């Protein structure tokens, strides 16, 4: 199968692994890329030197295309951009910020740019800013997502209608069936986060990986909408935040509870009670920790099998 996404990235399957803080370093990204999908280094949790190291190791580990994700609100954003250019990274996914600011600078260097959005309006703004594709991320996605709470099923057709560039669906997708469902409503590709956090090569702490495979339906919830919305596993920290929110806590009060380095503490260091555990709703469908290549293969085979069974409906 060839389509606009496989052609844009030069990959075999229209699947990319999400660039995620604390979980997607060079090991995961190169494993995914070697399996024929697009691996992404998540730079949001990396100091500039660390990012450089991950890019170099990724280049050494794969000859296939890979990308780097940059949250545009990152404080050292200009250093990150410079490293990406210096190291010859060919694909960049930007998120959490205005694509107007950096897209043209990256494009001038011949870099393919994809921006992550949670609404059709921002998809249009991204297209105007010159990006090559958008990731449209629904309410069910893990980590930080949109304030309007539009779900993948509704968001994808709206974004598809709003732009001419390819649309990558994110949020709620962890297997070949949900991948095909996203294609049915208009996606040209899918971005998968949660399932790859629960991979052998993910740099998430083993305890975090394990709890993902045990998270039941209803085990995550969007929190901290007043600060910046984030989907979390319901643990002790979540309960504390949730209780404060129910009482009408202010932004400052919530920020105080959050404190510093909670995400690292939870996802990277494995504190399942006090840590901030960002994950998608679809964790309720993820029950195994597997090698990334096997995950890619399973998703793709199920996508093809489901496509066949749809014809027989």
Which chain residues interact with a second copy by CB under 8 A? 1, 119-121, 138-140, 147-155, 157-158, 171-173, 177-178, 180-186, 217-218, 221-222, 226, 246-249, 281-282, 284-285, 306-307, 310-311, 313
**Which CB, 45 or 220, lies closer to a second copy?**
220
Smallest distance, Å, CB 280 to a second copy? 9
Would you tell me the crossing angle of helices 292-311 and 176-184 to the nearest 10 degrees? 50
Question: Least distance from C-beta 131 to a second copy, angstroms?
Answer: 19
* Residue 113, number of CB atoms within 10 A of its CB: 22
Burial class (CB in 10 A: 0-12, 13-18, 19+), 301: exposed
The pairing of strands 230-233 and 143-144 is: antiparallel
Cβ nearer to a second copy, comparing 257 with 284:
284
Nearer to a second copy, 75 or 218 (CB): 218
Distance between CA atoms of residues 240 and 236, nearest Å: 6
Query: Measured from the CB atom, is 79 or 307 closer to a second copy?
Result: 307
Closest to a second copy by CB, 11 vs 120, is 120
Number of other CB atoms surrounding residue 147 within 10 Å: 12
Minimum gap (Å) between residue 182 Cβ and a second copy: 8
Q: Closest distance between a second copy and the C-beta of residue 222, in Å? A: 7
Provide the Cα torsion 146, 219, 169, 120; round to 10°: -20
Measured from the CB of residue 180, what is the shortest distance to a second copy in angstroms? 5
DSSP conformation class of 215: P
């Amino acid at each position: 199968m060839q389509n606009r996404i496989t052609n844009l990235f030069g990959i075999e399957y229209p699947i990319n692994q999400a660039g995620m803080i604390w979980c997607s370093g060079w090991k995961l990204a190169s494993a995914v890329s070697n399996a024929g999908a697009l691996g992404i280094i998540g730079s949001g949790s990396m100091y500039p030197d660390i990012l450089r190291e991950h890019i170099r190791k990724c280049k050494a580990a794969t000859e296939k295309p890979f990308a780097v994700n940059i949250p545009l609100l990152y404080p050292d954003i200009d250093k990150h951009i410079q490293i990406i250019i210096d190291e010859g990274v060919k694909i960049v996914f930007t998120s959490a910020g205005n694509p107007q600011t950096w897209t043209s600078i990256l494009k001038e260097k011949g870099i393919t740019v994809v921006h992550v959005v949670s609404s059709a309006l921002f998809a249009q703004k991204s297209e105007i800013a010159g990006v090559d594709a958008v990731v449209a991320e629904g309410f069910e996605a893990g980590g930080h997502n949109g304030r309007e709470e539009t779900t993948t099923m509704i968001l994808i057709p709206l974004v598809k209608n709003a732009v001419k560039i390819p649309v990558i669906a994110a949020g709620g997708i962890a297997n070949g069936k949900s991948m095909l469902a996203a294609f049915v409503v208009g996606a040209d590709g899918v971005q998968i986060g949660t399932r790859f956090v629960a991979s052998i090569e993910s740099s998430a702490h083993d305890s975090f990986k394990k709890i993902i495979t045990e998270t039941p339906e209803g085990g995550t919830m969007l929190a901290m909408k007043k600060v910046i919305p984030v989907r979390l596993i319901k643990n002790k920290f979540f309960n504390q935040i949730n209780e404060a929110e129910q009482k009408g806590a202010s932004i400052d009060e919530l920020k105080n509870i959050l404190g510093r380095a909670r995400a690292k503490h939870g996802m990277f260091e494995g504190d399942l009670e006090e840590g901030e555990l960002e994950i998608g709703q679809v964790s309720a469908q993820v029950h195994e920790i597997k090698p990334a290549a096997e995950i890619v293969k399973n998703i793709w085979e199920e996508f093809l099998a489901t496509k066949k069974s749809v014809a027989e409906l």
